Structure formats: structure tokens, C-alpha cells
Chain A
Amino acid sequence: MSEPLICAGCGLLCDDVTAEGTALTPECALGSRWLAARRDAGGAAASIDGAPADVTAALDRAVELLGAARRPLLHGFDGATVEDARAAVTLADRLGALVRVDRAPDPEAVARRGSSTATLGEIRDRAEVVVVWREDPEVTHPRLLERLGSGATLVVVDDRDTATAARADVRLRWAAGRDLEAIRSLHVLERELPLTEDDLAGELRGLLDRLHAVPHAAFVHGPGLGGPRAALALYELVRALSDQRHVVTLGLPPVAGSAGADAVLTWQTGYPAAVDLASGHPELALAVDEGVDVAVCVEAPARPGVTTIALSALPVADAAVHIATAPPGVAAPGTAHRLDEVPLALAAPWPADRPTAAQLLARIGEGLAR
């Protein structure tokens, strides 16, 4: 029997999906893999140092480790819900801990610059040029181009022959190492200043002409952009282009849970991505990760080399404590944010008798209060 589902296989959170077994309709290999991993997640309810344990004993051990921690960290959130992230911030506040959304999109650029963005629907309805910058959403976010519609000119910046590049109306093929220079040069040309290097000038002027010719445009980007400097430069370029038209960025997070957790961190502490609560008030902590001795890892892989309390539906290697959670969107309901920040209520088509990470974090907090 097929079950309606919101698929959290990628940040698109497609809400028009049905599942039969692990096969999805509309068909999506990425979504099927996501569902299969969570429906098959069995194993012990909890473990301590790799040995099966009951949940209460595992929670006691977690409380003991965190009670003795000098520099605790709560991190991960790859597959977490908004409720999980909210509980993590509450516990971090109690502990005076660091909180980090491991795969937050462009944390430095967002924190320092802020981004101008739009919903998928707005881009679909208004953008006449969509520039996909060194990403291959046909593989990583398989229905993105479908969701953005077919009305816009699709420009793909990539020197690799990807599935997305195969659908491009216009291709720009400089090497990845030149992305920062290219974005900067677009900005220089936009300000009508002279270029310092001009071998890309023809392609860049062509792209700029296309952007100048339309009232609405969007840049789709992600980890392929190659670091915070390029993201900062892109956000500043978009700001400059928006002087005369409406231009937005749409980040493609590599995991489904990071957008929601990032939003929770921002609305609860004022800062995105990475926050230090050790001083009693929130501080942005993009580069401060030293000295962490105990980590609580929420619905994500563990950090190597740190004593880890893993609260995760999927197995986590080398955790001092692991407590299996009900997979969000499969066995437990919750709220998730689509990659364009639209909140969606995840269903629980196959409920399981396991706690959520949010419930476990609350119980750890109660244990610490005793």
C-alpha cells in the first residue's frame, strides 16, 4: 500500500511523494536511498562504548559525560528537525556549550553579509535567468529544475559535463579555481571599473548582459562555490546587481536538516551556523572549535577524535554513547525547513517505538538538573 510522504532525501523536501516499500512516486533514486536507509535502520536501541545497553543507562552515561565536560559541543543536524534543533539550543544554553550546524550553507557569508533569497515558487514565477554555479542539482536535488519551471534561461557555470550542464541554455566553462576571480570581475564590470585580468571578459560581459536584460534573476549555488570568500563575493555581487533589478541567491544545502537547524539557531541566538554560549550570552563562533572534549551529535556523523554522544536514527561509528532515534519524516513527525526556508510538517507514515532526538535532549537536560 502506498503512503504519502514528505521526502527528506534532499533539501527540496518534495511533498507530493508517495512511497510503496522504498520505491517513490515520482521516481527518485536519492529519495529511495534516503527512505531505505531509515526503514532498515535496526540495531540496538542504545549502546555504550559499542556494547548494547538500555536507553536509560545510555542517558545516564551521557549525563555523566556532559556533567564532567569542560568544553561541550552540540553539532550535526544533517537529518534533524526544527524540534531537535530547538532542544539542542536549550541544552547548550544550560551547558554553556558550543552549537554548530555542521553543514550550514555559507555560514561565514550569511553571518557577515546576509543573503537575499526567494522561495522556489517566486523564482519559478519571476526569474528569467537562472545561473547554476558549479552545482549539479540533477544529481544532488533531482527535482530542482522541475520545481523552478522551464521559463527561465538556464546558465550553467561548470567545466564538467554534468547532467545539469546537459540541460543548460548557456554554458560557461572556466575552471573551478577561477570562480572567485570571475565573481569579482562581474562585480567590477557591474561598477564599470577596469578589469585586472581580461581573458574571461567576453564570457563575463555576456552573462552580465543577460542579467541586465531581465527584471528578475537567480543564482543557484552550494558547496561547489569553493569557500567563504567566493560566497561573500557572490552575495556582494547580487547586492550590486539588485540596485536595478531583483536578483536572489538560492543555496543548495547538501543535507535536508541544516536549513531548519540554522534557522532555529538564528532566531534563538541571533547568529547562524555556529554559536558559543560559554560566556552566558550567544557569540558567533565560526572558527572556534578548539578544546572540545565531549560532543553531542544530533542526526549526523560523529566528529572523529572527540568523545561523542550520538543521537541518531542511523548507526554512528565510534560513539561513546549511541541512542537510536525514530527517523524524522519516516517514524517520527516533526518540522523541517525546505532549502528556501519554507517550513513543512513531516509525517510519520511508519511510527516506531523509539524517541526523537528532541525528547532525548530534553531528558539529558533533566538529568543534568538533578
Chain B
Amino acid sequence: MTVLVVAVSARMLAQLAVADGHRVIALDRFGDVDLRRIAPGGTAASNDALVALADGVAADAVVYGAGLENRPDLVARLADGRELLGTPADRLAAVRDPWAVAAAARAAGARAPETRRREPAVQDGAWLRKPLRGGGGRGIRRWAGGRPRSTEILQRFVAGVPCSAVALADARTASTLAVTEQLLAPRGFRWTGNVTPPRLPAGERAELAGRLGAVCDEVAARFGVRGAFGVDAIWDGRQTWVLEVNPRPTAALELVGPGAFAAHVEGARGRRPPVVPAPPAGRVKLVLFADRDLRAPHPDWWPSGLARDIPRAGESIARGQPVCTLVSGEHAVNELRAVGTGLLRALPGTVLAR
């Protein structure tokens, strides 16, 4: 089967699909070296432009990744004339509605932070302003009063450990593949990676996994989610607070391992997905973000077996943009962060500043 993969970054999905024996055509914003080694395709700077590129691609099926779940119109366009391996476009509005997700979370015994379109009459406690159609923690900041924009919501801040579940759904039930701790930037709320399992005491991990499992099941049945998807939450030490549902394969799927794409396809086709072994403990995924404007080194410069999403030699990478991803089963989070910091620090000697 020829599978078209469309996402902000298509490398992970393309690798998983190729590993399961599919031919892949990949369209994304980066066109990284390790993506192009396995899949032809193209790059474009926006979701609209990516989908315009896809119009001319012949493929049996299409999988969409991060960035498209907020655009049901584009998902419907991608699915025109191809088998859609994922949550259908007409299901996306509900599953991305924070109030509908909150009701699902409560029905599964979890909690959901209060969410508002307008500022509360009394500013009690801490609130965040978040893009209504956001992703990756971008654009989230503390609310310091004032009217939120029409594209924003206000959500009560919940202190705790950010976590996520990655699960497989067949539109009726879900099975959890992994529960991860999300790694955020030192300041702010930007997502930078995942570690599985979360670094919590065993009892809390079990409670969190059980609750997220119930939420995933509820989300699958209530919203008709198909294939791999994710639920983001905060664990406050006693309760699971559900923040949002990402109704498409999430970055944490990479930590699950072989068979994940085949299971995604089965779920997307409405069939109960095969059992995928739990990921080995202690796997870490860490995205390195440029701490200044950079120009990428030769691809061979990156440590093989550790670095993924490798930029093309000489590619300009602006401060704050992703440089590459490190995935390891050998390093603890802090060790991998130290490796990443060392790589970024070493870059000036090997690259030209822009």
C-alpha cells in the first residue's frame, strides 16, 4: 500500500509505516534528511500549502499527523479519493472542543480544569490563556487579566506533572499503548519530549494509568476516534486533570516500537487493534530547540542511532525552532538533556552562524 503522510513533521510516521512494509510519500514542513532517505515527497510552509501539494499525489491511503487535527476541512480534502487512516474529519470538531472533552473526562472519573471563553468576574487563582486551536504548548502563557482574543480560551492552571497517554482506538473502545511524562521547556509550557514511564511512585503511576485508560476508552467511544491518538493531562498527585485530546498519532508513539503503525491501521479501519507490547521502561524522546540562530552541520555529524529528524546540511534554523530529536533507551532524562545541551553547544564550531 502506498501511504501519503502529511504532518508538521512526517519523519516518525513515515519510519513507522516503512518499517511495516508500506511505501510512503511524505509531505511536511521540514523534509529532514532521515525522512528523505526513506520516502519521497515535498515540503511546504503551511498546512494549507501541504494539502495543496497532496492534491497531486497518487496514494492508496493517507495518514495525518500533528497540525492537521485543528483543520477538519483539510483532513476532508486529504481523504478525497484516498482511504483515510485516522479519525474522520467530521469527528474532529467535537473531539477538539475543550468543553466536550471535559465532559468525557468527568464521565470517566477524571477531572478537567475550568475553561472559559471570557475572563472570569473575579480573578481567583491562576489561569492560563491558550490558543483554542493550539498544539505543542505553543502560545500558552499565564493570564494576567484582560479579555482573551477570540482565538483563545482561559483555562485554570493545574499544578502537577504533565503526562500523556498514547492509545489505539477502533471508534468504540481504546487500548492504552503507553503513559508518558511530558517534558516541557524550563520556562513556559512548550512541549520538548516524553519519557515513559512517568517519573512517579508506582502507586501514583498505576492510578494515573488506570484513569487515563478509562478516559481513552471514553474518548474513543464518545467521539468515534480511530487509530492512534493521545490524551494530555496533568497528574496532581491525587487526580488526573485532562487537558486535551489529540485525535491522531502523537509524538509519543515513537516510544512504543514495532507494530505501532500496523495497529494504527487496524484501529483506523474500525477493527480491534492487535496487542502491541508495552514499551520498554526508560525510553526518552527529546526535541532539541535552537537556542540561537543556527546553520545545520553535515548529517553525519549527528550521533548515529540517537539523533532523528536530522536537518539538511547548511539549513538555517532560527532561534526557538526545532533542530533535531534525540531518542534513547539508554539515557535518563537529565543525561539526554546534557547530551542535547552539549550538541547544541558544539554547533558553533561546526556550523556558520546565520
A-side residues, CB < 8 A to B, are 108-109, 112-113, 181, 184, 187-188, 191, 193-194, 196-197, 228-229, 232-233, 236-237, 239-240
Contacts and interface: CB of A to CB of B under 8 A. Distances in A.
B107 A194 contact: no
A191 B109 contact: no
B297 interface: no
Contacts of A191: 100, 103
Given A194-B94, A228-B109, A229-B214, A240 B222 contact: no
A113 B172 contact: no
Interface in B95-112: 100, 103, 106-109
Contacts of A229: 108-109, 214, 217-218
15 contacts: A108-B109, A109-B109, A181-B221, A184-B221, A191-B100, A193-B223, A194-B224, A196-B172, A196-B221, A229-B108, A232-B107, A232-B108, A233-B218, A236-B106, A237-B107
B90 interface: yes
Interface string B206-224: 0000000010011001111
A112 B240 CA distance: 11
B139 to A, nearest CB: 26
Interface in B169-190: 171-172
Interface residues of B, number: 18
Nearest to A230: B107
B109 A196 contact: no
B109 A240 contact: no
Contacts of B103: 187, 191, 236, 240
A236 B100 CA distance: 12
B238 to A, nearest CB: 8
A115 to B, nearest CB: 13
A329 B100 CA distance: 48
A283 to B, nearest CB: 9
A204 to B, nearest CB: 14
- The winner among B106, B109, B217, B224 for most chain A CB atoms within 10 A is B109
Given A184-B218, A191-B100, A229-B214, A196 B107 contact: no
Ordered nearest first, which 6 A-B pairs have the shortest CB separation?
A196-B224, A236-B107, A112-B109, A233-B107, A193-B94, A236-B106
A76 B106 CA distance: 29
B116 interface: no
A124 B109 CA distance: 30
Interface string B148-174: 000000000000000000000001100
Given A109-B109, A187-B107, A236-B106, A196 B100 contact: no
A233 B103 CA distance: 9
Contacts of A184: 107, 218, 221-222
B29 interface: no
A54 to B, nearest CB: 44
B106 to A, nearest CB: 5
B328 to A, nearest CB: 34
Nearest to A184: B222
A345 to B, nearest CB: 36
Nearest to A240: B103
A44 to B, nearest CB: 43
Nearest to A111: B109
A181 B222 CA distance: 8
Given A196-B223, A229-B218, A239-B106, 13 more contacts: A113-B106, A188-B222, A193-B223, A194-B94, A196-B221, A197-B172, A228-B109, A229-B109, A232-B106, A232-B108, A233-B107, A233-B218, A240-B103
A235 to B, nearest CB: 8
A197 B171 CA distance: 9
Contacts of B36: none
Contacts of A188: 222
Contacts of B91: 194
- The winner among A109, A228, A236, A240 for most chain B CB atoms within 10 A is A236
Contacts of A193: 94, 100, 223
Contacts of B172: 196-197
Nearest to A109: B109
A104 B222 CA distance: 28
A191 B109 CA distance: 19
Contacts of B109: 108-109, 112-113, 228-229, 232
A223 B16 CA distance: 45
A201 B287 CA distance: 46
Contacts of B218: 184, 229, 233
- The winner among B100, B172, B222 for most chain A CB atoms within 10 A is B222
A113 B218 CA distance: 15
Contacts of A108: 109
Contacts of B94: 193-194
B244 to A, nearest CB: 16
A181 B173 CA distance: 11
Contacts of B171: 196
Contacts of B214: 229
B316 to A, nearest CB: 44
A196 B218 CA distance: 12
A236 B90 CA distance: 24
